Chain A
């Protein structure tokens, strides 16, 4: 199925948000995730399925002033 992650169209298998982050090599503790413009609390990564057409934003802290 196709989903948009950080503005990029990607083909992925059916999975949860937790599994998606792991497959991308991302430590869930260090990021915040928005799914279809709604922030997903960390506690819900395990139980939230990623659905075809989802628009996902994954952000973290970088150097800034």
Chain B
């Protein structure tokens, strides 16, 4: 693959188009090994209260912060105010302006509350954050997020943790036609082919957590996702053949035995 095919977010260049979450692993060691196998450079983390009575061992003790860009999320926030508060704390803890903004609307579906999302994005951009919002696969909302100044849009492929894959590839296509900022499919990927499909559609990246952490062998799945994202990107750049209903022979018709 061409060396200059990098993912550019807010002027920063990344070689890997796979972003991974760090939740749900069996141990910090396993997280670190899966991150390594995934080849990801951007990894998401959550902001939570320190447990005062437990060991102060931290995930960050296992992760080389020179190698990875931390993308704190606002997972579990249901209002713009909660999400903004979480981002302000994340910036103080991590000294970075990158945030994955999610504002949820429902506990069962974990679908975004786009009204609150837009409200939070507006405040955070004013506060100087680089905002990467998790959103519905809705081209209108994605355009509004871009107009507010978000550095990327991250439409869901399917509900978080569902593993249902890219449920509406046509909407993802329309989003790609609608916005100029990177489009990163966030949530829904179940296996390697789902990630490849997202990339073949022309998405600039894929973000996933459960598909890797929940696999029987997370390290092997991390490598599979690494390859799938690269394969899908390369296939997109290569340009696929058109779909046709009937066959076209691959062998020459000339010189056939009579």
Q: Is B89 a contact of A34 with CB atoms below 8 Å? A: yes
- The CA of A7 and the CA of B75, in the complex, are separated in Å by 20
The answer to whether B93 has its CB under 8 Å from any CB of chain A is yes
Q: What is the chain B residue whose CB lies nearest that of A57?
A: B49
Residues on A lying within 8 angstroms of B by beta carbon are 5-8, 24-27, 30-34, 39, 41-42, 57-65
A-B contacts, 28 listed (Cβ < 8 Å): A7-B49, A8-B52, A26-B50, A30-B58, A30-B93, A32-B47, A32-B91, A33-B92, A34-B89, A59-B49, A60-B47, A60-B48, A61-B45, A62-B23, A62-B46, A63-B23, A63-B25, A63-B28, A63-B45, A64-B22, A64-B23, A64-B73, A64-B75, A64-B209, A65-B21, A65-B22, A65-B24, A65-B73
Which residues of chain B come closer than 8 Å to A31, judged between CB atoms? 50, 93
Q: Shortest CB–CB separation between residue B106 and chain A, in angstroms?
A: 17
- The CA of A61 and the CA of B75, in the complex, are separated in Å by 12
Residues on B lying within 8 angstroms of A by beta carbon are 21-25, 28, 31, 44-50, 52, 56, 58-60, 70, 72-73, 75, 88-94, 160-161, 208-210
Q: Is B48 a contact of A62 with CB atoms below 8 Å? A: yes
- The CA of A26 and the CA of B25, in the complex, are separated in Å by 23
Q: Is A62 a contact of B52 with CB atoms below 8 Å? A: no
Q: What is the chain A residue whose CB lies nearest that of B161?
A: A65
Q: Is B93 a contact of A32 with CB atoms below 8 Å? A: yes
Q: Shortest CB–CB separation between residue B1 and chain A, in angstroms?
A: 27
Q: What is the chain B residue whose CB lies nearest that of A33?
A: B92
Q: Shortest CB–CB separation between residue B3 and chain A, in angstroms?
A: 30
- Given known contacts A64-B48, A65-B208, what 4 new A-B pairs fall within 8 Å (CB)? A27-B56, A61-B58, A61-B70, A65-B44
Q: Shortest CB–CB separation between residue B68 and chain A, in angstroms?
A: 12
